[in-house]
Amino acid sequence: MRAWIVERPAPIDEQPLRLVDRPEPAPGPGQVRIRVSCCGVCRTDLHLAEGDLRPRRPGVTPGHEVVGRVDRLGADARRFAVGDRIGVPWLGSVDGSCAWCRRGEENLCLRPTFTGWDIDGGYAEHCLVDEAFAYALPDAIDDEQAAPLLCAGIIGYRALRLAETPPGGRLGIYGFGGSAHLTAQIALHQGMRVHVLTRGEHNRALAAELGVDSVGGAADAPPEPLDGAILFAPAGELVPPALRALDRGGTLAVAGIWLSDIPTIAYADELFNERRLRSVTANTRSDGEAFLRLAERFGITAMTHAYPLARAADALADLAHGRFGGAAVLHV
């Protein structure tokens, strides 16, 4: 089968990915194999290709927003039948036994594996998934629309929860790409006032199109103090202005898996009055199930840009250079 691999992490314009021919994988116990239909392109794939994320396996195939149909069952796999349409997300497995798993925080598991980092992902014609970590997908959402929901959507939803903005509250969104544009739709449906702070014409236009309450530059002050904020841009220098924008008791959640260094924080102006700064680390399966139900109920629509599998490297380069708004999706 055709599959992309991260050959040697390097800046995206130096071609760190290569398209290779690999044997089709065989599902092990409890796993199913899918014939990939679509795979979303996430910023994490770019961090992996460029070496911001340390590769955990040489020659790994990226991609963790994978939609396809089950075409083979491993021993003891009973949850799905051949032909079922499922989604394969970032969280590939957890140990189920560490202190965090036992208290329902499997996103913080000590021994997790991740699709497209530890396990080969969906930039390929087939991939494997532990059936317990796959999602059944709502029929109303087609393959291209479903792909970006599986990481961008779910992580954004967890970040929104952790930003603790009450219904009708004021939410700031810093950076406006694949994840943010889905999260903004959930927030608007939940009656929040949404202020988007971002650079890039495509991003600003997309935010305005979705009907957010205001759109400003990346480090601008929003028009009113915020109850909660989410930092989607991987830019640590935005942490101090985002903290300054918070009202008393407000929370800033950093959604990315990678962030450039945060400059010095001025305690009095940026953290005092019980403002909170927290990271968002992966997600639990219950976040995923809850988000997919909301996405179906609210009719969340991803702004997608289709690329054939053969152009995965171009899709990542276009993401790196901000050449589109929304989310790129590979068609396999």
Can you tell me the distance from the alpha carbon of 22 to that of 2, in angstroms, rounded to the nearest whole number?
Answer: 6
Candidates 180, 211, 210; CA nearest to 197 is 180
94, 187, 192, 259: which one contacts Zn ion (CB under 5 A)? 94
- Give residues 223-262 in contact with Zn ion (rule: CB under 5 A): none
Binding mask 149-178 for Zn ion (x = CB under 5 A): --x---------------------------
The DSSP line for 160-226 is HHHTTPPTT-EEEEES-SHHHHHHHHHHHHTT-EEEEE--SHHHHHHHHHTT-SEEE-TTSPPSS-E
Q: Could you tell me which stretch among 26-34, 89-97, 136-144, 294-302 binds Zn ion (CB under 5 A)? A: 89-97
Can you tell me the distance from the alpha carbon of 235 to that of 71, in angstroms, rounded to the nearest whole number?
Answer: 41
- Give residues 36-65 in contact with Zn ion (rule: CB under 5 A): 42, 44
Q: Please, which residue, 137 or 151, has the CB nearer to Zn ion?
A: 151
The answer to the question of residue 95 lying near Zn ion (CB under 5 A) is yes
Q: Could you tell me which stretch among 48-56, 98-106, 219-227, 232-240 binds Zn ion (CB under 5 A)? A: 98-106
Q: How far is the CB of 241 from Zn ion (least distance, A)?
A: 25
Strands 246-254 vs 2-6: parallel, antiparallel or unpaired: unpaired
Q: Please, which residue, 94 or 226, has the CB nearer to Zn ion?
A: 94
Q: Please, which residue, 44 or 203, has the CB nearer to Zn ion?
A: 44
DSSP-derived secondary structure letter, 23: P
The answer to the question of residue 101 lying near Zn ion (CB under 5 A) is yes
Can you tell me the distance from the alpha carbon of 246 to that of 221, in angstroms, rounded to the nearest whole number?
Answer: 10
Q: Please, which residue, 170 or 181, has the CB nearer to Zn ion?
A: 181
Tell me which H or E stretch contains 314: helix 312-320
Contact 171, 227 (CB under 8 A): yes
Q: Which residues bind Zn ion (CB under 5 A)?
A: 42, 44, 94-95, 98, 101, 109, 151
